[in-house]
Amino acid sequence: MNMKHIKTALSLLACWFCIGMQAQETTTSENVFSSADPFEQESPQKSTKASHTLSASVAPGWITSKVATPYDEYSWRLGMGYELGYRCLFHNGYGFGLNYAHSSTHYPGGYQLGLNYAGASFVYGGHISSQWIATFEIGLGYANYTDGGTKVKDGLGSKYGIGIEYQLSNILGIGIGLTHYVQTFSKDNNGYYDSDKYTNGFKRFGLNAGIKIYL
């Protein structure tokens, strides 16, 4: 991850911190959520409890980097994937998450580029109404890519995401989101998959839709 992405991440974190501080200053003891709200503030003691969420999503997306094979060069190639996650949000809206994502993209000639990411993230979010929840996250972790299921390289990955979800009940919800993964690898023996948009790595922009389980 280069300095440009680090500066962008720090700027977003600073903005979210300011938003969170302003929200805390304007919060009163009045109960603003319905009884179905997992962040319900019926008492000062309950408002300090964290909210835990498990998620599972299907995640189609596009590798936006240019990928070169012996046959041709390709960009914005669509592939399928899935994402699994855990999220912990505290009463002030800040929290953390654990994420795993896998995607597989096929290219002519029998080439199959698989991308894997596992990492932790800083999360900011909460209820925007009694049943709607919005979240933002920035993550950093381990990445690798495979060719036909065989691992080729290990590297560093980062994740940027935004999502919104709707509570069907106290324990179940549905959500959609946008994610952007950036994965970097050493240049040595990088094989056919060499990107000209992001040196020695891949960028993948994706959608996700799935279920949320509130613990």
DSSP string, 137-172: EEEEEEEEEEETTEEEEEEEEEEEEEEEEEESSSSE
Least confident residue range of 16-20, 124-128, 166-170, 182-186 = 16-20
Q: What is the pLDDT of residue 62?
A: 97
Q: Do 125 and 133 touch, CB atoms closer than 8 A?
A: yes
Listed in sequence order, the residues at least 6 apart from 22 whose beta carbon sits closer than 8 Å to its beta carbon are: none
Mean pLDDT of 102-106: 96
pLDDT at 5 over 90: no
How many helices (H) and strands (E) are present in the chain, helices listed first?
2, 11
Helical ranges in 27-64 per DSSP H: 44-47
Which of the two residues, 27 and 96, has the higher pLDDT score?
Answer: 96
15 pLDDT band, cuts 50/70/90, is low
Instruction: List the beta bridge partners of residue 155.
Output: 143
Which of the two residues, 44 and 158, has the higher pLDDT score?
Answer: 158
Distance, CA of 187 to CA of 94 (rounded, Å): 37
Average pLDDT value over all residues in the chain: 81
Q: Mean pLDDT: which of 12-16, 17-21, 30-34 is highest?
A: 12-16
Q: Do 102 and 79 touch, CB atoms closer than 8 A?
A: no
**Residues 128-148 pLDDT 10s:** 999 999 999 999 999 999 988
List the structure tokens of 19: 């938003």
Distance, CA of 141 to CA of 5 (rounded, Å): 14
172 pLDDT band, cuts 50/70/90, is very high
Distance, CA of 42 to CA of 31 (rounded, Å): 6
pLDDT at 96 over 50: yes
**Residues 24-66 pLDDT 10s:** 444 433 333 333 444 443 333 344 689 999 999 999 999 998 8
Which of the two residues, 66 and 160, has the higher pLDDT score?
Answer: 160
pLDDT at 180 over 60: yes
